[in-house]
């Protein structure tokens, strides 16, 4: 059943998030700002819309709300690659 699968995926994401948050010491991956676990947003390094794995922890970083929004805009604008 899809419903069951979805619930399991959410749980996994939650676990990944908690682990990631500790690994990043509660700081944003991009700007280094301290954030609470609740403030942290899940960022997929390779966007899911481009085939990035949803629950692969290597594809997940945590970002603050500001960076999350900024990155979202970049994707929309097709940011050129930055070294």
Binding site for Zn ion (CB under 5 A): 28, 30-31, 33, 64, 67
Q: Would you say 31 or 75 has its CB closer to Zn ion? A: 31
The CB-of-78 to Zn ion minimum distance in angstroms stands at 21
Q: Write out the DSSP string of the chain.
A: -HHHHHHHHHHHHHHHHHHHHHHTTTB-TTT--B--TTT-EEEESS-GGGT--SS-GGGEEEE-HHHHHHHHHHHHHTPPP--
The CB-of-64 to Zn ion minimum distance in angstroms stands at 4
Q: Would you say 16 or 40 has its CB closer to Zn ion? A: 40
């Amino acid at each position: 059943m899809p419903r069951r699968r979805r619930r399991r995926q959410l749980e996994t994401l939650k676990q990944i998030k908690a682990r990631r948050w500790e690994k990043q010491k509660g700081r944003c991956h991009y700007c280094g700002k301290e954030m609470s676990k609740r403030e942290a947003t899940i960022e997929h390094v390779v966007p899911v819309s481009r085939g990035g794995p949803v629950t692969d922890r290597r594809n997940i970083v945590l970002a603050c709300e500001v960076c999350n929004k900024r990155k979202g805009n970049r994707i929309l604008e097709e940011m050129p690659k930055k070294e």
